[in-house]
Amino acid sequence: MNGHFTFPSRETLSGSLDVQESGSVLSVWGASGELAFSDADVIAGFLANQTPVALMGCFPVSRKMSIGPNGPSWSYEILPHHVVIGTSEISYPDEIIEKVVFEFDDAFFLFKNDAIDILMPDPAQLSEFISSQDDQSTHPVQVGDHPVVSYYTDANAGKIFSAETVIGTVSAHNQVTSFISDREDAGFTNKIMAAVQFDEPINISELQSRMEQLLRFLGIVIGRPQNLIETKIRLSSESQASGQIPKYFTVHFHSLLRHSGRQRAPSPHDVLINAGTQGETFGRVLGAWLEREKQPSWQTARRLFFLSWSQRRSYDAYFTQSYRLFRR
């Protein structure tokens, strides 16, 4: 994604931002001298489509000098730890993040419930139901001998569970999108999104810490380490109280540990708690887990255990700590 990027020295350079979950790279060129910036600074930019972007925790991995008609110029390749797309008005000290919404690898295994399912109804009963609908005159439906019906029920306005915890209100919900294609096919797709509404706005460093705590818990419950697929934040300046429709901005955590996708998918027997049908129990266990994360000894033991487990190494040296990890 091409754009223009402004450095702490106020110098604005042309460049290209390649955003990947495994790591983003900012390439800039045409600097009149060596660029001076630290990992505490923000590189703010605008992409070619006028979307603002903020890059934080940046460090250069390569630089080259070339000699042209106007003298020497420098080009850089820069790796950011955090990329926020949609706003450039954010920095590490700013405690302005009031909510995060995210999708992770195996959410469907963890939050499976009967809101979405498939039925094979009796053809006569289905025909009777369809014939009672008002739009049959304009959209007639023919029922075959072996009908299959896919359905979604929104009994709880999409909400799957919600729990008050020490890091905020953690919840999950169905995000269903219906579609009709050019070929007159119709249906719906669904994402299961988790969210945390914070009691007080936090900064992006604290956000990453809380996301790490949640991902460790989710990995243990599901049976394999989890990666973030998509993460969006809402800032306090964008809240409904301001009279505006809240906006969400995409965040990429490149300093967050990612795990290999070559591990097998979990089976229903791997999931310790089905949060889709046991939401109250899941919320209670989650709350207790996060409460103990406040204790440095527990947090260190869990971090070491999870790091070794995710990299398929043994944890013998910390057997006592790993045993205590599962006690409640």
pLDDT, tens digit, 9 for 90 and up, residues 61-95: 888 887 767 667 788 899 999 999 999 999 999 99
Mean pLDDT throughout 260-288? 80
Q: pLDDT confidence of 130, banded at 50, 70, 90?
A: confident
Q: Indicate the pTM of the whole model.
A: 0.79
pLDDT-wise least confident of 25-34, 107-116, 211-220, 253-262: 253-262
Mean pLDDT (the chain, rounded): 83
Mean pLDDT throughout 84-107? 94
Q: What residues have CB less than 8 Å from 286, skipping those under 6 apart?
A: 163, 165, 170, 217
Q: Which residue has the higher pLDDT, 259 or 317?
A: 259
> φ and ψ at 83, to 5 degrees?
-125, 125
Q: What is the pLDDT of residue 122?
A: 82
Mean pLDDT throughout 198-225? 93
Ranked by mean pLDDT, which of 124-133, 174-183, 281-290, 296-305 comes out on top? 281-290
Lookup result for tokens 């390749």: 77
* Strand, coil or helix: 311: coil
Q: What residues have CB less than 8 Å from 107, skipping those under 6 apart?
A: 172, 191, 192, 193, 194
